[in-house]
Amino acid sequence: MKKYTDIDIVAELQKLVDSHVDSYKEDFDIDKRIIRRAAESQNPEDKTLMWFCRPHGTHCLNENQVFIQGTRDHNTFRFYAEQTYDECVARVIVPKTVKRGKVFGDVFEINYREQAANVAQNAVAPDHDRLTFADGFVLEAPCRSSFDEAMALVSEHGGVQAHRTLPKDAEALSEVLTKQKSRRDRLPEAERTEVLSPLPVAELRKYEAVKKAHPDALVCFAQNGYFELYGKDAEKAAPLLGTKLLEKKVRGKPSVPVTGFRESAWVAGSHKLWKSGVDVFLSKDGETFKELKAADYIPVGATLNVDGIKCRIDAVDFAADEVRLTNIEDKNRPIRFSESIQYVRSYVEDAGTAIYDTIPKKPAARESIRDKLKSAQKAQPPHTTKPQKNKGKDMEL
């Protein structure tokens, strides 16, 4: 038996319906509504459901009510184990939230017949029923007569919206349910098969434009709550991130390798890539989310105090995990030595952004004398000849 946490509950149960239910599959439509209501409910007693399917339908029951004797949920859960030979597959489900129209939560595998025997042995005695009507009116009545009393009030208060049986010993029921939860929480986590949403062609075009603009960087492209890397970037990034290399479908094109990290974990994820000595570019919604330059991780040429000693960073060899430095305290006797990247990086972080101001600026390219003369000649106004004055008198006609 295993557990599946934070998954699409309906999608998980649908697989069981498809493989085990031959007729009355429409029962599952009712279950979907019950599961969604449980996810949206603020009442803890509504949150845990016991679901099972058989060849001719499905049932979704409230765990709280299953463990109270004589309730509809209690009797239904036991019936198929005690009165039939139907092959039933059961799950305990805990809906938690609705995201993008889907109900997410936890699903726990259970053995249906063993659980039915457990219910029969540990269910507690009922006390009375509580019925809530459409207008909010609440009826407290003995279990045997609650239905008849409710029917007499429907014309006045509307239909019954909620029906719950309360136990004689609430503490005993709480203890039973706590033991059930403790038992299933100890189940091992099921190994997950990652299913990724296809990459729309329009998004692929956006990614290709970003990658073209940053060909040498590991491009992390925001999709469905993750920063994803594709192709060769993914193959390089997966071992650095410690993540799986999966396949991403692209509509109308061959699938591509993909890996990545959650958007909420972008700092840790991008820094794992950055410290390997590569440029990292994070793109989201067509905009630059973050850009990390490999040269900034250990800024070559900068002056740095390492353990109180003034040094110049000469070179970084990421493959050898080595930073080459020169002790420049004595200009006449510079001493060259090496340290690990992680060690030097700690001092770079302590120095903050001020370290980048210590990198010598390259002198501007000097214009040659010949080029200066050519520029000056072009700038001079063109030479013109002044007209001569006529010294003779004008001829008379």
3 state SS of 341: helix
pLDDT on residue 184: 93
pLDDT digit string, tens, across residues 333-359: 999 999 999 999 999 988 888 898 898
pLDDT digit string, tens, across residues 82-137: 999 999 999 999 999 998 889 999 999 999 999 999 999 999 999 999 999 999 99
The string of DSSP letters for 89-158 reads EEEEEEEEEEETTEEEEEEEEE-HHHHHHHHHHHPBPEEEEEEEETTS-EEEE-TTTHHHHHHHHHHHH-
pLDDT on residue 394: 45
Confidence of residue 295 (pLDDT cuts 50, 70, 90): confident
- Whole-angstrom distance, CA of residue 230 vs CA of residue 221: 9
| Residue type, position 322, single letter | E
Task: Name the percent of the chain lying above pLDDT 70.
Answer: 93
pLDDT on residue 376: 73
Name which of 278, 284, 190, 192 is nearest 239 in CA terms.
278
As a whole number, mean pLDDT of residues 213-238 equals 94
pLDDT on residue 16: 93
pLDDT on residue 191: 77
Distance of CA 9 to the CA centre of its chain: 17
**Where is average pLDDT lowest: 29-38, 178-187, 275-284, 382-391?**
382-391
pLDDT on residue 382: 66
pLDDT on residue 361: 81
pLDDT on residue 397: 33
pLDDT digit string, tens, across residues 297-334: 999 999 999 999 999 999 999 888 899 999 999 989 99
As a whole number, mean pLDDT of residues 158-175 equals 93
Task: Name the percent of the chain lying above pLDDT 90.
Answer: 67
pLDDT on residue 111: 95
- Whole-angstrom distance, CA of residue 91 vs CA of residue 52: 6
pLDDT on residue 65: 95
Name which of 291, 222, 232 is nearest 262 in CA terms.
222
pLDDT on residue 374: 75
Q: Are 240 and 275 in contact (CB under 8 A)?
A: no
Q: Are 282 and 300 in contact (CB under 8 A)?
A: no
- Whole-angstrom distance, CA of residue 138 vs CA of residue 213: 66
pLDDT digit string, tens, across residues 231-269: 999 999 999 999 989 988 887 778 899 999 999 899 999
pLDDT digit string, tens, across residues 13-32: 999 999 899 999 999 999 99
pLDDT on residue 224: 85
